[in-house]
Chains A and B, each alone.
Chain A
Amino acid sequence: MSADNENGSHSQAAFRNAAIDQLESLHRFAFHLSRDPALAEDLVQETYVLALRHEHTYNRRLRDIRPWLFKILNNAMRKHFRRESLVTSREDLNEAHADPAVPNSELLPPNSRLQDLDWEQIDDSLKHAIDALPETLRSAFLLFAVEDLKYRDIAEIEGIPIGTVMSRLSRARKLLMQSLASNPTISGN
């Protein structure tokens, strides 16, 4: 085996190991977006099949594998949702829930309700609040807050400008805080 082939083989093995390492993350994202365990597994499997088919297009030197894999998964989900007509389009949803510019004073709900949020008791309410987010906001929020991806990675995954990522994350947080603050069992009101 030539040195080039050997390097290529090592590089391929590293790529595949790195891809396998992302299984839990991809599965978690697919599960929380689809809310269907079987569908999530299908989509993750499809992601790996596509990743393997397009392995040659992945630039190992320049790119982190995580956004690349998440983008494949995201596209697979969009395709599935379109096929199943579950949503007309993610952009339509985005527009439907778009807020006008949020004034500084409206960043969070009135502080009387937020001051006493019991973060130790918040698990179920927070999960329900995240699940209730519009799909585009939930997707951006999960990628950022749960999967620790950067703005530019989310922008690439979703195929949107970074400014839109910021806007979605901001709206997601605002909706979550409003939802939590309106829950009397955790807001101390």
Chain B
Amino acid sequence: MSEQPNHFELIAYIDGVLPSDRREAVENAIAANRELRRQLRQLVKLRSCSRQVMRQNTPEVSTQLRSRIQLLMQAPESRVATVVARIQPVRKPGWFKPSFRMAMAAGIVLCVVGGIWFGFLQERTLIQSPARQVVQGAKRAGLPAQLVTIAQARHLNCVMMGNNFAYPEFPRVLAESGPAVRAFLGDAVEIPDLTSIGLEFAGVGPCQINGAGKALHWLFRSTNNSKINVSVFVQPFEDQVTFARNTACVVAGPTEAFPMLVWRSDKHVYYLIGDDFGATSETAKQFGVGFGL
């Protein structure tokens, strides 16, 4: 063959996209031309080495990003918008810029002033939205303002990291976990079997939720693949709440993304949080409490 392959034909041949009617001619030219064969070898080597080098020089995907992506992808269709809204950027470039810092400082001042003014108005006019009643209820109960955020973070973290409950002293069978729970909290705690309402026991283990006191976390998962999860946290009662025994406090109501109820017995404080109001409300009923609706 006399016709030499042009530049693009050679590249197309290497990449396997050369039209079949030109392949034979190019192969003949390569067979007859030592320099073309050498160039082909170099180009093939370039691709394989590039692949290897760039893959080796990529940092691992961080655990934080992986967890967030898994959380996103586990969200039921009806809750995608809520989960997306709650996912924060991995980094906040604005914080690193002086102009943004100044804007943020101004914003904080405005929020504080506005908040004081708004609170003054609320006290005077007694206009109380359901959300505000919930916040006031939690405050009156002595619960920290960020309790929902903390409980939600613990709940989601354990939902995503199933092996968080790999504590040898805490059996993965609910009925067998009583002695370990008693040893940890100092007293027995009755946690009902929730299989009758479609929730299976996923595990129990130590967890922090409100203050430095010790707490245990029970996680329940839906059995029907609807990816609904409910968490129950229990702490010994150490005056961390101000409401009376056998009283429940609605911290986040049915319209919130993560409904939450807190109640206390003689010896313990219970924190119930779920990512679905129906399942959370049904769980509360199993404990003999309710959202009071």
Contact = CB atoms under 8 A, between A and B. Distances in A.
B156 interface: no
A122 B45 CA distance: 11
A52 B75 contact: yes
Contacts of B126: none
Given A37-B59, A45-B69, A52-B84, A145 B50 contact: yes
Given A27-B58, A41-B62, A104-B6, A111 B46 contact: no
Given A27-B65, A44-B65, A107-B7, A52 B12 contact: no
Contacts of B64: 41
B114 to A, nearest CB: 29
A97 interface: no
A16 B73 contact: yes
Contacts of A53: 80, 84
A32 interface: yes
Contact of B15 (A19, A42, A114, A151): A151
Contacts of B38: 111, 114-115
Given A141-B50, A173-B43, A107 B61 contact: no
A107 B87 CA distance: 48
Interface in B40-74: 42-43, 45-47, 49-51, 53-59, 61-62, 64-66, 68-70, 72-74
B50 A19 contact: no
A77 interface: no
A28 B90 contact: no
Given A19-B73, A53-B80, A108-B42, A38 B91 contact: yes
Contacts of B11: 166, 169-170, 173
B17 interface: yes
A24 B61 contact: yes
Nearest to A30: B58
Contacts of B50: 126, 130, 141, 145-146, 176
Given A23-B66, A104-B6, A114-B42, A12 B90 contact: no
A20 B42 contact: no
B91 A42 contact: yes
B10 interface: yes
Interface of A: 9, 12, 16-17, 19-20, 23-24, 27-28, 31-32, 37-39, 41-42, 44-46, 48-49, 52-53, 101-104, 106-108, 111, 114-115, 117, 119, 122-123, 126-127, 130, 141-142, 144-146, 148, 150-151, 166-167, 169-170, 173, 176-177, 180
11 contacts: A31-B59, A41-B61, A41-B64, A48-B69, A52-B80, A101-B7, A107-B7, A108-B42, A114-B38, A169-B11, A170-B7
